[in-house]
Amino acid sequence: MRDFVYYTPTKIFFGKGKENDIGKICEQYGYGKVFIVYGGQSAVRSGLIDRVEKSLADAGIVYEDAGGVQPNPIISKTREIIKQANIFNPDLILAVGGGSVIDTAKTVGYGVAMPGVDVWDYFAKKATITKSVPIAAILTIAAAGSEMSDSCVQTNMELDPPVKCGTNSEFNRCKFAILDPELTFTLPKFQIGSGAADIFFHTADRYFTTDAITGNHMSDEIAEGLMRNIIKYGPIGVNDPTNYEAMSEIMWSSTISHNDLTGLGTNPNGGRGGDWAPHQLGQAMSALYDATHGASMTAIWASWAKYCMDANVERFARYGRNVWGYIGDDETVALEAIEATEDWFRELGQPTSLSELLDMHVSDAVIKKIASNCSRGNTRTIGQLKVLNEDDMINIYKMAR
């Protein structure tokens, strides 16, 4: 196993009703002014926001809230929330929601701590994050794993074409996160399925890489176990969203999938390993067409896998044997595993083609537009398993049409 540094400072409070302890938890940490960030009205209608605010008030903690964060969070909305938060001057920013809400809270954190910098500069790699107001989360959607990751994503609709991209920093780490699986019981089935797919991709993008080496057994075992777990429990949760066992397994898998645990020791240069091309291919469609994150990847993953499989067919064969239980020669097992994974996406109720994802005729011009967005106008390549230029992206999108 190669050298690595592993840092996961987030404290997890997992279980039924844990969100009702938010006031006591904040009190224990010494936070007296809490700025709440949430998404749509479902958190209000369900009574969750009221319960959170009551718990804070009972602990003598001052709070203010800002709602309206949408999926695929928009930087312009985030800037608005930063202005409100700056006036309030919190000592903790509390996200109540899923990955988009948590990512917005993270961005608000360094927007408040460093008011002289436009926060988009951190995503455009024009500035470096050096400090942040502490962040915490009450998770309501199991998908992105943002509650324990160092990642953060925003979309800039002011650019032509719009761009969705991320930034990584230790300042993106939540101080603590509350995970109550019952908060996910009312999610639409499509959202549960898309979340389960996203969990798979966070693990798969670390797993399918030429950096993976013989002797990295522990990380591989964790990754393969997580993939087996989400493959088993994802469809159960989709079919029965009130199944506590399934929803708790999905929620914890979400957190583990993106806290870097499954990719340790795979990068010869240290730090973050993995391929991440499926994420980039999907984000290009999310930026242009507001496609759901997990679904944007189920639409292209099998095409990407078949296109890139020859770069490390042994890796795909190991996946087929250890996750799906297939036997045979490497190429046969690899292809069977890719097909089985695509069938699993369908079982989750997710699209497996661009036309299904975008609900429109996907012409060559549309594919060129998406590929250009992904390649930033043919100025970058993506991927590590197989480095992909814009022509490669076009070929994969066409295979997935």
- What are the DSSP calls for 61-84, one per residue? -EEEEE----SS-BHHHHHHHHHH
What band does 4 get if pLDDT is binned at 50, 70 and 90?
confident
Integer Cα distance of 198 and 201 in angstroms: 5
> For 308, phi and psi rounded to 5 degrees?
-105, -5
Q: What DSSP designation does 388 have?
A: B
Integer Cα distance of 62 and 79 in angstroms: 22
- Residue-wise pLDDT for 5-45, tens only, equals 888 899 999 999 999 999 999 999 999 999 999 998 888 98
DSSP states along 231-254: HHHHHHHHH-TT-HHHHHHHHHHH
Integer Cα distance of 98 and 393 in angstroms: 29
- Is residue 235 predicted with pLDDT exceeding 90? yes
Please, which contacts does 221-229 make with residues 24 or more away whose CB atoms are closer than 8 Å? 222/256, 222/261, 222/262, 223/262, 223/263, 224/319, 224/322, 224/323, 226/199, 226/253, 226/256, 226/257, 226/262, 227/200, 227/203, 227/319, 227/323, 228/323, 229/253
Helix (H) or strand (E) holding 155: strand 151-156
Integer Cα distance of 397 and 204 in angstroms: 19
So what's the pLDDT on residue 267? 67
Task: State whether residue 38 is helix, strand or coil.
Answer: strand
- Give the angle subtended at the CA of 20 by the CAs of 18 and 22, to the nearest 5°: 85
Closest CA to 98 of 184, 1, 196: 184
Give the CATH architecture of domain 11-183. Answer: 3-Layer(aba) Sandwich (3.40)
**With contact defined as beta carbons under 8 Å apart, do 230 and 199 qualify?**
yes
So what's the pLDDT on residue 265? 78
* 188-399 carries CATH number 3.30.70.100: no
Closest CA to 224 of 321, 79, 358, 328: 321
Percent above pLDDT 90 for the chain: 90
What band does 296 get if pLDDT is binned at 50, 70 and 90?
very high
Q: Which residue has the tokens 């603590």?
A: 176
- Residue-wise pLDDT for 391-400, tens only, equals 999 999 999 9
- Is residue 376 predicted with pLDDT exceeding 70? yes
- Residue-wise pLDDT for 113-153, tens only, equals 999 999 999 999 999 999 999 999 999 999 999 999 999 99
Mean model confidence pLDDT for the chain:
94
Same fold, 11-183 and 188-399: no
Kindly give, in sequence order, each residue whose CB lies less than 8 Å from that of residue 50, ignoring residues fewer than 6 positions away. 44
- Is residue 214 predicted with pLDDT exceeding 70? no
Q: What DSSP designation does 294 have?
A: H
Integer Cα distance of 113 and 48 in angstroms: 28
Domain boundaries, the chain: 11-183, 188-399
Integer Cα distance of 155 and 283 in angstroms: 9
| Assigned token pair, 218 | 């522990």
State CA 115 to chain mean position distance: 26
- Residue-wise pLDDT for 59-111, tens only, equals 999 999 999 999 999 999 999 999 999 999 999 999 999 999 999 999 999 99
